[in-house]
A and B are shown apart, each in its own frame.
Chain A
Amino acid sequence: MSEFYLRTESIKQSDILSLSVVNSTDRGILEALKSNEPCLLEGSRGTGKSFLMRVAELELEEGDKACVTVFVPFNMSSLITTDDNLQFYHWMMAKTLKYLLNKLRKMGMVVSGLTSNLLSNDHSDTEESVETSLKEIVRIFEDSYKGKIAVDLSSLPDIEDVKEAIQIICEENDLDRVVFFFDEAAHVFRPEQQRQFFSLFKDLRSPYITCNAAIYPGVTHFGDSFEPIHDCVFKKLERNILESDYLQYFKDIVFKQSDESLKKEIDNQRDLFNTLALASGGNPRMLLRTLQDLSKLNTSGVNFIIKSFYRNQIWTEHTDLGEKYKGHRDVIDWGRDFLENSVIPRVEDYNKTRRDKGTDESTIYFWIHKDAPEPVKESLRLLTYTGIIRKIDSAVRATRSELGTRYEIKYGCMLSLESNPHSDSKEFYKNLSVKKFPEFGKNHASYAGSEKLLNKHELQYEESLRSLLKKPINVLVALTKWQKERLQSVGINTIEDLHNNTEESLIEKIYGVGPSRARTMKNAATAELLEYISG
């Protein structure tokens, strides 16, 4: 069918506002992005984070002349593979300031080196102006990470110099503040770099600077100095398919990019369109993609696309993630198997039993115990990144008052299993209840195999891994003093020792340690190793 814009990046800045659809939730997010408070916007791929940030940027530019907006996309780059965290911090800083300088140049507030070609008596390079000091800061940072010259780290400008330079620019140009929008921030899975990003995010706090960033749900490493609840406004970009304005909202989004004949077709086949909109599970990019790939808006076309996209393509994309982030490949593949072979069949069974009994209930939800093995949780986190599942809430009580996390499987993925997705959708949707969900306890049989994800024989023995394994268990913050002492009392002194023990052997060896403590102890070592392979 028609061609749509599937990525914000493909849309020219001047066309953004004419394509935007803003509901009350979006408005709330926009206001947070435009406010003086820093804001983190979390959402899986394709939910529209970049788009909303662009809209906020344009609205600010339009409405507040005393404010400079700077959009900073942290793209993949060979430079961010550096292991030196300080270098990574400097890289981010240099990029950010360069985008700021570009913006100031566009606004006519600074000029480039080109001017010396025309001016016959140019002394501006020796002048003590703020722009030269900011340019100098960028140059020094760039040199430090490009490794062109050996840099004495103590000679590098610190964050206070940067903030001061920005403050002076604001004062000299009658500006209230500079607003940074970091797009795809911390999208790489390296935990240490995520921490570095959030420490920059926090360091840049000043009356003259506001930082906003779009992040993925998989991003969890905020570091010690940053607390999402206290240090910023935390917003989630999610669209619940059970909300009353859901269908109208998605129709509006599609109409903004449709010609008259497509609009007419959709109006005539509203039910079919609704099925596609629900299948996307709140993801505009997936809706636009399935519509684009649709041969014709009729029942067989819709059934075909739902089956092919939500049974195959969406999974291929998830698996491809493993190619991109090789350290995660096994966890990604295991997570897919777990969801496809264990979770989805159980949810299907659950629905079938209720249907057979004649109960008007259906579900796309499942629940995982809070103490499930760490690799299981990690694989679920990665599934939220692609958006195949969505975390609804944590600390939800299930059978025997046990606590756990509730997830939603993308509606399309469940619907695609039906032989006639479209005709089954109406009833299925009507009966959906978030209160119904199959449970996966602490030691569910389907977790089998997850413990092998970190089988050390499969990990490459690099120097850094070796040194990590040799670290004493004292570095594990997740363990209490008592737990550490108990471990040491049976000769478990290093992370490697702990990793080599199974939960059963811990229970057997240590008096006072049962299944629950054994799990906590193992999880602590596993989390540390997971962090390593993430790099």
Chain B
Amino acid sequence: MDIQEYFTKLNAESQTVFEQSISHKEALGKLHHLSSCIYEMSNFLRDPQEKRILETVSAQLESSNYSLIVGLYRQAFSSLRLALEMGLGAIYFSASKLEMHEWLDGRRDIKWSKIIDEENGVYSKRFVMAFFSELVGDAETYRGNAISVYRKLSEYVHGNNETWMNGSIRVMYKDELFNQYCNYYQSVTESILFSATCRYAKTFDDTERESLQFLPEDFNHIEKIRELFGRS
């Protein structure tokens, strides 16, 4: 077997995983819907840089999904974590232009601990108060969710004991990992959408809010979001 033959075989195995994954039409539809929501929201951001980053986040999420369906689970999880960092990072830096430019220039890193900081992070009282004060009460729950899903995803990146077993490098379809990914994905996109709603929803005008009808649909249970979008 030469090197080309070897990769051809891997590709064939990957295709088998692909066939199995793709049969979960509805689950994949949901994943795509959620990344599309982030994409649609990015279309309404006024700042071109913030818009571009959020758009990249949605593409990043889609590419994680692709890794998932070809059976590259570890890559899928780690790519999902990157999307979470980028999404929340963009929102964090949107409130501090200097840092955003440094970040985009490569002179500053995204620090997860700063993004999620209790006092000054994207879910902090200070931050939410400034952009959508009525959501202060809900933000803590989302902060908890974001921290928790980030931790779980990190296990795949750093590769602790358990994940060595779950994501062994052999390319084959694993139902359990597929489902776990879908759950984490839901948390990641919800964390980003909630934070983006806190940060941007009030800057949209009525017509723009009108076009974002998925937001009150997905966050229907949060009264203040519902009200802002015109439902009593």
Contacts and interface: CB of A to CB of B under 8 A. Distances in A.
Interface of A: 9-13, 73, 75-79, 95, 98-99, 102, 105-109, 111-115, 117-118, 142, 146
B72 to A, nearest CB: 16
A118 B63 contact: yes
Contacts of B220: 9-10, 12-13
A113 B59 CA distance: 11
B180 to A, nearest CB: 18
Contacts of A95: 213
- Count chain B CB atoms within 10 A of each CB in A76, A106, A109, A142 and give the residue with the most: A106
Interface string B16-36: 000000000111111011011
Contacts of B27: 108
Nearest to B31: A108
B40 interface: yes
B85 interface: no
B141 interface: no
Given A114-B62, A118-B62, A77 B230 contact: yes
B232 A76 contact: yes
29 contacts: A9-B221, A9-B231, A73-B231, A75-B216, A75-B230, A75-B231, A76-B232, A77-B210, A77-B230, A79-B210, A95-B213, A98-B213, A105-B29, A106-B26, A107-B29, A108-B28, A108-B29, A111-B36, A112-B32, A112-B33, A112-B39, A113-B36, A114-B32, A114-B39, A114-B59, A114-B62, A117-B58, A118-B62, A118-B66
A114 B33 contact: no
B134 interface: no
B217 A113 contact: no
Interface in B192-219: 206-207, 210-211, 213-214, 216-217
Given A75-B216, A108-B27, 5 more contacts: A75-B231, A95-B213, A107-B25, A112-B39, A117-B39
Given A75-B229, A76-B230, A107-B26, A102 B213 contact: yes
Counting contact residues on chain B (CB < 8 A from A), the size range is: 20 to 34
B159 to A, nearest CB: 27
A95 B213 CA distance: 9
A106 B33 contact: yes
- Count chain B CB atoms within 10 A of each CB in A75, A114, A117 and give the residue with the most: A114
Which secondary structure dominates where chain A touches chain B? helix
A73 B40 CA distance: 20
B58 A114 contact: yes
Contacts of B210: 77, 79
Given A99-B213, A117-B55, A11 B221 contact: yes
B226 interface: yes
Nearest 3 pairs between A and B by C-beta? A108-B29, A112-B36, A75-B231
Contacts of B25: 107-108
Nearest to A112: B36
B223 interface: yes
B87 to A, nearest CB: 14
A203 B90 CA distance: 45
Contact of B35 (A12, A99, A114): A114
Nearest to B230: A75
A78 B208 CA distance: 12
A117 B32 CA distance: 13
A117 B207 contact: no
A107 B25 CA distance: 7
Contacts of A115: 62
B40 to A, nearest CB: 7
A441 B80 CA distance: 72
A324 B30 CA distance: 37
Contacts of A108: 25-30, 32
A10 B26 CA distance: 25
Contacts of A109: 29
Nearest to A119: B62
Contacts of B28: 108
A449 B158 CA distance: 79
A105 B32 contact: yes
Contacts of A13: 220
A79 B232 CA distance: 16
Nearest to A13: B220
Interface string B28-62: 11101101100110000000000000010011001
Contacts of B206: 77-79
Nearest to B25: A108
A115 B230 CA distance: 30
A73 B210 CA distance: 12
A170 to B, nearest CB: 16
Nearest to B209: A77
Contacts of B40: 112
A12 B221 contact: yes
Contact of A105 (B33, B62, B63): B33
B117 to A, nearest CB: 28
Contacts of B32: 105, 108, 111-112, 114
Contacts of B63: 118
B36 A114 contact: yes
Nearest to A15: B221
Contacts of A9: 220-221, 223, 226, 231
A400 to B, nearest CB: 45
Nearest to A102: B214
